[in-house]
Chains A and B, each alone.
Chain A
Amino acid sequence: MTKTSKVLLGLLAMGFSLTAYAKENIKIGALVAATGPASFLGDPELKTLEMYIEKINAAGGVMGKNIELIAYDTGANPKKATTFVKRLISQDKVVAILGGSASGETMAILPFIKKAKIPLVSMAGSIKIVKPAKKFVFKTPATDRMACEKIFEYLKKKSKTNVALISGNGGFGKSMRAQCKEVAPAFGVKIVADETYGPKDTDMTPQLTKIKSMTNVDAVVNPGFGQGPAIVTKNFKQLGMKQTLVQSHGVASKKFIELTGNASEGVIVASPPVVVAALLKDSNPIKQIALDYINDYETKYNAPVSTFGGYAYDALNLVVNAMKEANSTDPKAIRDAIESTTSYVGLNGIYKMSKNDHLGLDIDSSIKMLVIKNKDWQLAK
């Protein structure tokens, strides 16, 4: 053999062994809104995924192989999401996809998921993602509809059924607002006002003043996330309004209390269990998992946990558990195993999937009504 061909053969061999090594990784894709208007969703989601995949790999990986996370930042832009989902499917060749962070981008990628027959576990809120149930699509957060139902159930119990809505008009706020209006009659709740604000608005006193001037308002419900609800809360206090103020699960995080300061006193918040791990009953299996998560996340990132990181945690574990259960990394097998999850104890509730229910959560265990007292959480009675 000539010297050149020896070198070439050597390089070829190296090349093969490298690709063979690369094949050892299990590729999971993620579409998160790490920048842009939903970045405080995507940021903790990505951080959670990175942290736990590192942990899993350090403990030996799944079926002896390491998980490789291929994450792209969609900026909550559905157009970018469709581009990146194609990249994940046809170029990166992932076996499962986690994401999007927001409902718009999730809905946009569904046709591609269907065509590629790869399981998707979304971290977004809209009920439309799983109703009607789509074969390859699952999600981990409780739906916005469920949040409305829980909130109205609570308000009905308190006999506060004349409700004024003030909603952010981003995707999440709009969607939850529509769901609330739909489910209200079933709880005897009457929507007496329907104000909105833009996600970047800095002053909601006009809308709240309108509500304040009405005589028959028992409670004010604020679907939305981000800086909007914090400003609404502060304005609410400033105007001296006495009604019950209820915030959605979009703000269930210590960050909300930090942003609102004294104005947070007495505010009711609908929240997934992870946020109040310490207040859960010891007999609740979620408690220990949640406390561990809080400890891990807050130690590593020096920031309070949010529900959003929790959605990512549950999404990842559903997929990883499914892989272990099916003992396979074939996308179809993973999908089947996710669907047959009968009892995964997650940060957001206890998941029980079925053919027609690709969320698998019930209202009681997955949403808690909390009240903020002395800048800390308490279970609302």
Chain B
Amino acid sequence: MVELLQYSFGGITVGFIYALVGLGFTVIYNSSKIINFSQGEFVMIGGMAAVFLSYAKFPFVLAFPLAVMLASLLGYMLFKLVSMSQNSSVTSLIILTLGYSIFVRGASQVGFDKQMHTLPAFISDTPISIFGATITPQAILVIVVSLCIVFALYYMFNKTKLGKAMLATADNKDAAKLVGISVKKILIMNFMISSAIAAIGGIVLTPITSTNYEIGVILGLKGFCAAIIGGIGNPFGAVFGGVLLGILESFVAGYLSSEYKDAVAFIVLLLILFFFPGGLFGAKKSSRV
């Protein structure tokens, strides 16, 4: 019983990280129908920038927002590149975002370095024991921060004018333009929000996992799985998908085989794609000829 609880704690912590990455995918996809393969790199930039700013003697209170701003800037840059490209076929855009991820990783190698780095736990190191299973304060922080972001997004999309404008743009760009919404500004904001979310996730994650210029690759892939499992386009779906994925991975490692833990994310993804094509919470699609 204790084991079950412990596996769950581990799984939920990791799951919320996947959720944040997946959420970032969803925000961009909703507004521009683009799958951003470089999403994971924003997670990496958040952590690495925060670390290097702290090495440069910036107090954490400053380093945190600065790192997030750097990631947002890179998100803006991506938007500019995407809007410059005339070919909007799925394949082209995938390659473009992949090229961008290679570029950002390469820049990180040079601008930061190739070593591993960590941040001290924000609150404390001492694990908290709940019914015999333990969880670290940092992990709880990850969960809390992620939930805050989710609710903030929910509030924005549903209760603010800006958020409604974003939803309108995602639904039908031309109609949105007709009612006076500046589609370009909305898209820019979406890209920047998406990268900011990823960066925040990256920073709170660093004390748990350490960071280095390569962590974005696998996180991006798994976050993407989370988004699709939940139903790409649905923010709550992304969160649910992420947590589900984290827990499944944990259970497989604990009860079955730790060797194939990595395969879990992709096997579940395939099952969802085959049996629930729109994701667990996604909408049905129809297509025009």
Contacts and interface: CB of A to CB of B under 8 A. Distances in A.
- Chains A, B in direct contact (C-beta < 8 Å): yes
Interface of A: 34-37, 39-40, 43, 169, 195-198, 200-203, 205-207, 209-210, 213, 226-227, 230-231, 234, 237-240, 255, 258-259, 261-263, 303
B14 A202 contact: yes
A227 B210 contact: yes
A202 B214 contact: no
A303 to B, nearest CB: 6
B125 A43 contact: no
B125 A206 contact: no
Given A202-B209, A207-B258, A230-B118, 20 more contacts: A34-B114, A39-B214, A43-B115, A169-B259, A200-B214, A200-B215, A200-B217, A203-B209, A206-B6, A206-B7, A207-B253, A209-B254, A226-B116, A230-B210, A239-B127, A240-B127, A240-B129, A261-B120, A261-B121, A303-B113
Contact of A40 (B17, B114, B135, B250): B114
A207 B11 CA distance: 12
A250 to B, nearest CB: 13
A295 to B, nearest CB: 19
Q: Which of A35, A198, A206 has the most CB of B within 10 A?
A: A206
Interface string B1-36: 011001101110110010000000000000000000
B208 interface: yes
Nearest to B116: A227
Given A203-B250, A226-B116, A35 B14 contact: no
Contacts of B283: none
Contacts of B217: 200
Interface in B235-269: 250-251, 253-254, 258-259, 261-262
Nearest to B209: A202
A227 B9 CA distance: 20
Nearest to B4: A209
Interface string B106-131: 00010001111110110001010100
11 contacts: A40-B114, A43-B114, A200-B217, A205-B7, A205-B9, A213-B2, A227-B210, A237-B127, A255-B115, A259-B210, A261-B118
B143 to A, nearest CB: 13
Contacts, number: 108
B154 to A, nearest CB: 26
Contacts of A213: 2-3
Contacts of B54: none
A209 B14 contact: no
Interface in B77-121: 109, 113-118, 120-121
A220 to B, nearest CB: 14
Contact of B3 (A195, A201, A209): A209
A258 B7 contact: no
A201 B109 contact: no
Q: Which of A201, A202, A213, A227 has the most CB of B within 10 A?
A: A202
A35 B118 CA distance: 20
Nearest to B120: A261
A200 B205 CA distance: 14
A209 B7 contact: yes
A240 B134 contact: yes
A40 B115 contact: yes
B218 interface: yes
Contact of A206 (B117, B212, B215, B254): B254
Contacts of A258: 118
Contacts of A230: 116, 118, 210
A265 B212 CA distance: 24
A285 B229 CA distance: 60
A227 B7 contact: no
A207 B7 CA distance: 9
B212 A205 contact: no
Contacts of B134: 238-240
Nearest to A230: B210
Contacts of A303: 113, 115
Given A169-B259, A259-B210, A206 B253 contact: yes
Given A43-B115, A198-B262, A262 B125 contact: yes
A205 B247 CA distance: 12
A361 B97 CA distance: 49
Contacts of B253: 197, 206-207
A197 B210 contact: no
Contacts of A195: 258
